[in-house]
Amino acid sequence: MAARAAYRHILRTVDSHITSVNNNQQWKDHIRTLFRAGASEPNATEAAKKIELAEDYAFLVESVRLQKDLLMSYNISTARDDKNRLAQSAARVGLQLPDLTPRHTPG
């Protein structure tokens, strides 16, 4: 029963955080293959270790995603461009950046 719960947990995690992001089914297929190969594991201790490893991996993927979201919300991430980060920092203290885009005036 624990194996089924771990299998479903890791599949849901990989599907929501990895597969749906890049539309690549490779990770999901790899996990299915590993669990099917481990279903015939004769050693109960080894099977329990693999189940625990699967749960740990699912927890890691969820934690990394949460950390990334937190970094983005606090403007700590380097993935954003400087103008966007500066505008959000200014908005946080009640200021607004001037619009410096050139405007075309007729005539």
**pLDDT by residue (tens digit) across 47-69?**
889 889 989 999 999 999 899 88
Contact yes or no for 45/53 (Cβ under 8 A): no
Identify the CA nearest to 57 among candidates 10, 19, 25.
Answer: 10
The model's pTM is 0.62
Contact yes or no for 6/59 (Cβ under 8 A): no
- Write down the pLDDT at residue 80: 60
SS3 state of residue 88: helix
- The string of pLDDT tens digits covering residues 5-52 is 988 998 898 888 887 777 878 888 988 998 888 778 788 888 889 889
Q: How far apart are CA 24 and CA 105, in angstroms?
A: 48
DSSP type of residue 78: S
